[in-house]
A and B are shown apart, each in its own frame.
Chain A
Amino acid sequence: MTTTTDTERSTATSAAAPTGTAAGSSIPVEPDAGTRKLSTAKAIQEAIAQQMRADDSVFLMGEDIGPYGGIFSSTTGLIDEFGAERVMDTPISETAFIGAGIGAAVEGMRPIVELMFVDFMGVCLDQMYNHMAKIHFESGGNVQVPMVLMTATGGGYSDGAQHSQSLWGTFAHLPGMKVVVPSNPYDAKGLMTAAIRSNDPVVFMFHKGVMGLGWMKKNRRSIGPVPEEAYEVPIGKAKVVREGTDVSIVTLSLSVHHALDVAEKVEQDGISVEVLDLRSLVPLDRDAIMASVSKTRRLIVVDEDYQSFGVSGEVIATVAERKPGLLDYASRVCVPDVPIPYASGLEHTVLPGPARIEAAVREAVREGNAS
């Protein structure tokens, strides 16, 4: 039985193509990383700055993105180069300024709009899922919305239930938005560049823990080599960030760091873990998931979003629909359908941290062998 939902379709024509010059001109795709190192935050800043230089229809809107530079340093320094006209601090009116981004995009500009925390989606969701995501469809492809919605996700630093969520599964569930979730500086720059140049609305979701911030516990993988030139990482393409043969961890964002840490640790016990960084949720690289599970036959999905009705179920369903006999073992390490607690010990109990991932890997190998 093979029931894929893939639809290799695209629109043939567009009466209202954006006038921006970004899309169309050719830039490298996933070039060699080189040796120059940046944090993820700086890689994002660099991607935005380069596209703002290349295309004057690109501009930024959001709360505290000007002189402050973004609460999580996504826009540091940009106002110094581009001025307040193109780096616009907004009132705390998410519906108004996200909607304004949509209207500007409809008229051919390429706004990057920051929603400070993804947790705030509740106050402005209508603009995102009923407008940003649907106008192209409702117009039969005649109106494009080339907009980037950038937002901070994730927990791990005791910010409580309203400032620690991931919620990418919610965006990926609602049709009409591309969703990217970089885990490292290289992918962050390439995906942001691709997002700005895309003619579709792209939700760019960065986990605060991958930004390499000095005031938040950081994984060494938040710093890494980044080419100085502009380049794209294709939206919709996952990446095997560690090859292995015993068990596949399919994951995204900060959980990639934890998965790699665990993979290094269990290697000493002779367990070979493959780690697949999804990088994008929409489109989802289902072929890459199948390729990895075909090798290992054991699947663990690690996702910092809520467990039920989300990304983890979608990944497992992909294998179940395409080749159910392939799986000797499947499990998931997610947030177990509970709001994120404040107290640090409680929070780290529900987050999919290294200890839970390691336990899952060891069980996968044990159970998978037994079957």
Chain B
Amino acid sequence: MSDVTFPTMSDDDDATGVIVTWFVESGDAVTPKTLIAEIAVDKVDAEVYPETAGTITILAEEEAEVAQGSVIATVT
């Protein structure tokens, strides 16, 4: 299993961003090649892929403000 964390996009440790889009839902099967989310800090966005294969559980809602490095999903 593995945690999916919000990527570090800014040097500012206190920076937060939003989850723009979840491309998957809790319970979906994912692999490291599955684009699971797009996140953004200001106008810069990034794609998120899981580190391991398994079943995803989403912990943060779309469009929610999230701190960099915080866990936004788990894969079991």
Contact = CB atoms under 8 A, between A and B. Distances in A.
B63 to A, nearest CB: 9
Contact of A37 (B20, B23, B39, B45): B23
Interface residues of A, number: 13
A37 B24 CA distance: 7
Contact of A214 (B21, B24, B35): B21
Interface residues of B, number: 14
Interface in B32-71: 34-35, 38-40, 42-43, 45
A291 to B, nearest CB: 34
A39 interface: yes
B72 interface: no
B23 to A, nearest CB: 4
Interface in B15-38: 18, 20-21, 23-24, 28, 34-35, 38
A38 B40 CA distance: 16
A39 B40 contact: no
Interface of B: 18, 20-21, 23-24, 28, 34-35, 38-40, 42-43, 45
16 contacts: A35-B28, A37-B24, A38-B23, A38-B35, A39-B38, A73-B45, A212-B20, A213-B20, A214-B18, A214-B20, A214-B40, A215-B40, A215-B42, A215-B43, A215-B45, A218-B21
Interface of A: 35-39, 42, 73, 212-215, 218, 223
